[in-house]
Every structure is written in C-alpha cells, then in structure tokens.
Amino acid sequence: MTVETFAKEFDFKVLSLPSPEKEVTGAYVGDLLSWVMGRANSGDVWITIMSNVNIAAVATLADTACILLAEGVVLDDEVLSVAKNKGINVLSSEKSAYSIAKMISDTV
Amino acid sequence: MSDKLVFRFDVQGDDFTSAGQASVQVKKNLRQLGFDTDTIKRVSIAMYEGEINMVIHAGGGIAEVSVCEEYIEIVLEDKGPGIADIDKAMQAGYSTAPDSIRSLGFGAGMGLPNMKKNSDSMEITSEVGVGTRIVMRVNI
C-alpha cells in the first residue's frame, strides 16, 4: 500500500508527505544511523526516535518509504523543511516503537 | 575509456546539518545517468559513511567520485588525525566517536564495515598525524 493509505489506515500523524504514492513494502526499527543504512530495505517504514537533521539524508540514501517517529517525538521546523524539500515522508505516533511494530506487523 | 566522469565535493568538518549532502547529490547524479538502484544504493551508502567519518573525525576532507567503464570509484581524502590501528577500526562495533556524536545516532562502529560491505574493493592508507585516504570501487 502507499504511504498515504498506510498513514490513514493506522491513523498516524502526517508531518511531511511530499511523496504520498511511495509503496510501503516492509519495516525497520532502529536509531543508530549506520545500522539503518546497512540494514533497512528500500520501501521500509523506518521506525525511530531519532529526530535530528541527519535522518533526512539516511532516509534518502536508504530509500525508505517513510520515517515514522515513535514515542511522540517531534521534529523541529528546520528538519521538517529539509524533509519536505527532499521528498521525504515523515509520520509520527505517540506509541512506542514496539507497539507500532506490533500494530503494523500483519499489514507490512 | 579516457573521458571518465568525475564529481568532486568539499566536505565540511563538524557540520552535521549539511553532512550527507555530497552523497545525496551523487545518488541523484547516478540516477540521472541511469544506473540500477542497487548500484546507486551501494555507492551512496559507502560514500555517506565515509563522508560522516570525515565530518566526525577529520575536520572534513575531499570526496571524489569517478564513473569509469567497469566501476565507480570513490576516493575520500582528509588531513585528519589518521587511523592508528586500521584492523581495529574495521571491527564492527569499534568506535572512537565521542558521546556528543553518539547522541546524533552516529558512532555505532559500523561506518567502515558498511563501507567495505557496500564496495567490491576498499583500500585504506593512513598515517597518524597526517591523514587518511580511502579508495573504494563498486563494480558496474
């Protein structure tokens, strides 16, 4: 399914959705950027609590479908504008990474 | 083929807001040149890790990406402190990054292993107090 449908289906908050048609094909949970770069697959929903500007580059290079911020983590305006400019989808949720993973596991 | 295509970037040290820009640009350029997604991903990840290393450890440096007939070559050169023990630095999980860097999500000790994993060959030459030069090739 597309990121747009995915966000609606699970009622995630949309922070940035410049590429709504991107297909969600899997998920990866992690905060250490090199691990994410090395292990996340293209099309993954990347669940993280990391919110600094470097997540934009990592999401671009790893070609993830979207970043999904767990635990109610917020993005500052600068990171948000970088994400929007680079075509990176960012969603958020108040739930923990574990709860999110559990919730989406049958779908993704 | 003599007329290879070369992209050259100055990587600024201690600038985490623009770190990764060179790699993202390379990804764009390779996509425009029509390379397959796997090759593009390997080159851009290998380069990003190298770029971040130069930002964290070396006060920046130069990154050069050459598109040759049979491979894409990434050369990273810095005038940083050098790597005292390359074998140790290559070990997954080994890192000398300070806590301030770790809090940004770096310093997991996976940079060099990721660079090796994503390239077909990697050569490191380094001298303590002088600098480090890394040449990686990704076969096309």
Query: What does the pLDDT look like over B82-131, one tens digit per residue?
Result: 999 999 999 999 999 999 899 999 999 999 999 999 999 999 999 999 99
**Residue B128 burial by CB count (10 A; 0-12/13-18/19+): exposed, middle or buried?**
exposed
Surface of B (32-51) touching A: CB under 8 A: 37, 41, 44-45, 48-49
CA distance B4 to chain A (A): 24
pLDDT for A33: 93
Judged by CB atoms closer than 8 Å, whether chains meet at A58 and B49 is answered as: no
Question: DSSP state, B85?
Answer: -
Judged by CB atoms closer than 8 Å, whether chains meet at A52 and B104 is answered as: yes
Reply yes or no on whether the pLDDT at A9 is more than 80.
yes
Residue that the structure tokens 């640009």 belong to: B25
Reply yes or no on whether the pLDDT at B3 is more than 90.
no
pLDDT tier at B14 (50, 70, 90 boundaries)?
confident
pLDDT for B2: 58
Q: Using one digit for the tens of pLDDT, what is the confidence trace for B25-38?
A: 999 999 999 999 99
Structural domains of chain B, ranges and CATH numbers in brackets: 5-139 (3.30.565.10)
Structural domains of chain A, ranges and CATH numbers in brackets: 3-102 (3.40.1390.20)
Judged by CB atoms closer than 8 Å, whether chains meet at B49 and A34 is answered as: yes
A26 DSSP β-pair partners: A44
ipTM of this predicted structure: 0.81
Using the Cβ of B106 and the Cβ atoms of chain A, whether some distance falls under 8 Å is answered with: yes
Judged by CB atoms closer than 8 Å, whether chains meet at B20 and A57 is answered as: yes
CA distance B84 to chain A (A): 22
Surface of A (52-91) touching B: CB under 8 A: 52-58, 60-63, 78, 86
Comparing alpha-carbon positions, the chain B residue that sits nearest to A55 is B105
Q: Cα-Cα-Cα-Cα dihedral of A99, A7, A44, B89, to 10°?
A: -60
